[in-house]
Structure 1
Amino acid sequence: MARGHWLDPLARKVLQAIGDLPADAPAPTLPSASMAAPIQEPDWFLDVNRATAEQWQRLPGCTATMVDLLIRLQQGGVQFSQADDLFQLLELPPVLAERWRPHLIFHWYGDAPPLTPTAPIDLNADAAPTLQEALAWPPQRLERLIEERRRRPFAHLADLQERLCLPPQTVEALIGRVRFGATRPGPSLPPGR
């Protein structure tokens, strides 16, 4: 029964050079760029900031809930500047995100998109001082946010925009910067109310 050679690679090369060991089998070659299968371009595109519900539904795995959220944000004037913000908002699995990416086009309509920091803040759980420092909102708006989240945690950006009557620019500045974790049920009303 033949055993693999135990020598280190340098000793193996020396023994192969003097003919005491057979040469290594040639490594498999990769096909050249001209032989590789061509990358297929998508046959349709979606303008993320102007797409209709029907266009969103063409994307694989785009649920009715996602479409509703995206249309509500669009109607509120919110725009996306990059795919990763969209994927983060929808909590899209990476495999599905890569299937969407070739179809997405990001045209910006209006002023330049805002820059976003990397650490997201939790609008349902972070303390008021943390929110004030991160958001730099007027005190009345921050008080309204705290009051509304006590009543019922925010579900997503569209819910936040509608309940606080936020302008589109404010919501756009939050994309990629906030999350809506740590939801806890609000106080329940007595039956019959």
Structure 2
Amino acid sequence: MPRSHWLDPLARRVLEATGQLPRKPAVTVAHAAVDPAVVDPAPPTWTIDVNRAREADWQQLPGCTHDMAVLLVRLQQGGVQFASTDDLIRLLELPADLVQLWDPHLIFHWYGDDPPQPDRAPLDLNNAAPAELQLLNWPEVRLQGFLRERRLQGFRDLADLQARLSLPASAVEALIGRVCFKARRASPSLPPRRG
């Protein structure tokens, strides 16, 4: 009897999906009783409505971490919706192998008006100059609140931005794929205020 591969099933599926391992032929149920480790599961029949999924739904996806699931649910609870797989790729910085594993399970139902269409390279909100932030077309009050919060601490992600600025869901949806949150660069020290 041939020995099963030493990789766990998830690692094997990722390597097969990326072409680094050949796919095994399907094993019949009669052979499954002999060595269940060599059975490739049939394509799953379950799907996730991305804009209504719960944390447990997300964690069914191979490679979806707890942090990813929590972020997606937090954004959803804030009213944010995703228009396509590309939104998830940009938000979570998903590698191509995970995209291939996730894509068959994802359904994108948009609830409400038409989804926004991104048209520019992402703007780094933690490091952008005030002049660059004008591209956001935010009201002056929101922009000043953003700058005040950013001085206190950089933003982690869209959910953190939404919570700290009390942004409506539509404002956050308009940012998906248009912004990113890199580590803050050291800024030159400001001269002391005279008062």
Instruction: Give me the TM-score of the superposition, normalised by structure 1.
Output: 0.73
Larger Rg: 1
The equivalent position to 2:127 in structure 1, one of 122, 125, 128, is 125
Identity %: 59
Q: Which runs of 4+ in 1 moved over 2 A?
A: 182-186
Backbone CA RMSD of aligned residues: 1.7
- Matched position secondary structure for 1:67: helix
Q: Which ranges of structure 2 fall in alignment gaps of 5 or more residues?
A: 1-25, 27-41, 188-195
1:153–1:184 Cα contact (<8 Å) kept? no
For residues 147 and 184 of structure 1, what CA distance do their matches in structure 2 show?
16
Aligned partner letter, 2:141? Q
Answer yes or no: is 1:141 the counterpart of 2:145: no
**Alignment of structure 1 residues 148-167 onto 2, 5 Å:** 148-167=149-168
- Matched position secondary structure for 2:155: coil
1:56–1:62 Cα contact (<8 Å) kept? yes
For residues 100 and 54 of structure 1, what CA distance do their matches in structure 2 show?
15
For residues 136 and 51 of structure 1, what CA distance do their matches in structure 2 show?
31
Answer yes or no: is 1:99 the counterpart of 2:92: no
Instruction: Give me the TM-score of the superposition, normalised by structure 2.
Output: 0.72
Answer yes or no: is 1:174 the counterpart of 2:187: no
Please give the per-residue CA displacement for 1:83-105, whole angstroms capped at 9, x wherever unaligned.
01111101111111111011000
Aligned partner letter, 1:46? I
2:127–2:185 Cα contact (<8 Å) kept? no
- Matched position secondary structure for 1:113: coil
Q: Which ranges of structure 1 fall in alignment gaps of 5 or more residues?
A: 1-36, 187-193
Name the counterpart of 1:69.
71
